[in-house]
Amino acid sequence: MYDKEKGLIDAYIRGQMSRRSLIKGLGALGLSTAAAGVLLNASATRALAADFDWQKHKGTGIKLLLNKHPYTDAMIADLENFKTLTGIDVTYDVFPEDVYFDKVTAALSSGSTEYDAFMSGAYMTWTYGPAGWIDDLNEYIKDPAKTNPLYAWDDFLPGAVTSCAWNGVPGGALGSADAKQWCIPLAYEQNNITYNKRIFEANKLKVPTNLDELLDTAKAAKAVMNGGYGIGVRGSRSWATIHPGFLSGYANFDQKDLNVDANGMLSAAMNTDVSKEYHKKWVQMIQESGAPDWSTHTWYQVGTDLGAGKSAMMFDADILGYFMNGAGNAEAGNLAFAPFAANPAAKAPTPNIWLWAMAMSSFSKKKDATWYFLQWVTGPEHDLFGAQKMDLVNPARKSVWADGAFRDKLSGKYQGYVEMFDVSAPGASIKFTAQPLFFDLTTEWAATLQKMVAKEVPVDEGLDQLAESVNKQLQDAGLG
C-alpha cells in the first residue's frame, strides 16, 4: 500500500476521518470504491493485530459446520483476512438448510470432535445447551487474555444478543443475570411488512399500520390481483409458521405463549380473550386474502410468490423481502418495506426474531483457537465487511447500523428498509418462552391454526383444546 493511501485509511481507523471523506480522498488518489474497501479491510486487520496476540494459535486448524446462506457467503469471502490475522487454518462443510440441522444434531449427539464450531439458531440452543453439547461462551467473552480489546461486546444490539442467552431453566428469562451465552449472533431477521409498491401505487392501496388495516388492505389487494392473492404468511405444519409474522403481531398485543408462575411452573397462555380475538382476525385474513395453498407455505413460497408478483405483500422476515427485491425476481426493484405494529394502541412494533449465530461444540479439542474465530466472525470488522460488501442483513451490531455507507446501500435500493429497521429494532427480540418442548408445542400450534383456517374447528374451541394439550404435555414433562 502506498504511504498516502495508508495514511488516509489509518486516519479513518483512528476515528479522525469520516468514511465519506476517506472514500473521496482515496478516489482523488485514483482508487475505485471496491479497491478502497479491500484496503480498508486489510487495515482493519492490521489494527486488530496491534492490540492483541492474534498469532497465539498459529498453525492450528479448526473445522466449521455451516448452513448454505448469504451469511455463510460473507464469512467465506472474508476468511483469508482471518487466516492472515491469526495463522489459523479454517476448513468447513456447508449443507443446505433442509438437511443442515440434522447434520448438527448428528454431530453433537454422537459427541463427534470433527466440528469445532457451527451455525445455529437461538431456539436450537434450548436443546443443545442443557444437553451439554455446547459451551457457555461467557467463559471466553469475559477473559481479557482470550478476547481482543476491540471486540466491543456493548456494541451488539441488545435484543439480538440477549436472545442468545438463557440460564437453562425452563421459563427462565432470556438474557437474565445468570444466563449462559450459548451462541453469539451473526445477523438476524425482524418481521415486518414487505409490499409491492407497483401494485400498491397502481391501485391506490394503503400501506397497513395495524392488524385491522392489514385485513382491509389484503382483501382490497386480492381483488385487483388477477388470480394472485393479497398477503403472504407461512402456513405449513411447522413451528416455523408461528415464529415470524404471526407471533410478531401476537406479541404486540402483549400476548404470550406460556405463563410462568412463582414456582417456575409453566402453563398455556394462548387461550386468553385477547388471543382468541387475534386468532380470529388472523384466520379471517388468510381465508379472505391468503394463498389458496396457504397450508403448504414456508419461507420459500412466501418469498418467491412476492418476488414473482403473485402476492401483493407479506408479513414475514424483512431479509426475505430484501432478497426478493434483488436480481432474478420478476418484481426486483418494486418491493418496499414498512414497520408494522399489529396493535393500534402499541407505540411501536415488537417483532419476534430469528437469528443465525455461532456456537462452540463442547467436544472441540481446540477451543481457544475456535474462540479466536468466533470473536473475529462476530466482531465489528467482519460484520461491517459483510454488511457493506455482501448480503449480511440484518447485522447484529449498532456500529454497523450507524455506518453511512451501509445505510446508503440499503436506502438506494430498498425503499423504507432503514426506517423500518430503526423503528422496529428497539422492540425486536425472541418472544417465546425458553423451554425444552418448544418445537413440539409450536408445531402443534401451527397444526391447530391449519384446522381453524380449514374451518375444522372454531377458533375459541381450537385454542381451548390446544391449551389443554399443551398443559398436559408440560405436566407430563414435569414442567407444569
pTM across the whole model: 0.91
Q: What are phi and psi of 415, to 5 degrees?
A: -55, 125
Do 474 and 257 meet the contact criterion of CB atoms below 8 Å apart? no
Residue among 73, 293, 278, 320 at smallest CA distance from 193 = 320
The rounded distance, in Å, linking the Cα atoms of 165 and 178 is 9
* End-to-end CA, the chain: 64
Angle between helices 79-86 and 33-50 (to 10 degrees): 30
Which residues, 6 or more positions from 459, have their beta carbon under 8 angstroms from its beta carbon? 276, 279, 280, 283, 452
pLDDT of residue 172: 98
pLDDT of residue 96: 98
Do 354 and 121 meet the contact criterion of CB atoms below 8 Å apart? yes
Parallel, antiparallel or unpaired: strands 117-121 and 354-360: antiparallel
Q: Is 475 helix (H, G, I), strand (E, B) or coil?
A: helix
Which pLDDT tens digits describe the chain residue by residue (480 residues)?
Answer: 456 556 655 555 545 456 566 666 666 665 555 555 555 655 555 555 567 999 999 999 999 999 999 999 999 999 999 999 999 999 999 999 999 999 999 999 999 999 999 999 999 999 999 999 999 999 999 999 999 999 999 999 999 999 999 999 999 999 999 999 999 999 999 999 999 999 999 999 999 999 999 999 999 999 999 999 999 999 999 999 999 999 999 999 999 999 999 999 999 999 999 999 999 999 999 999 999 999 999 999 999 999 999 999 999 999 999 999 999 999 999 999 999 999 999 999 999 999 999 999 999 999 999 999 999 999 999 999 999 999 999 999 999 999 999 999 999 999 999 999 999 999 999 999 999 999 999 999 999 999 999 999 999 999 999 999 999 999 999 999
> How many C-beta neighbours within 10 Å does residue 39 have?
18
pLDDT of residue 51: 78
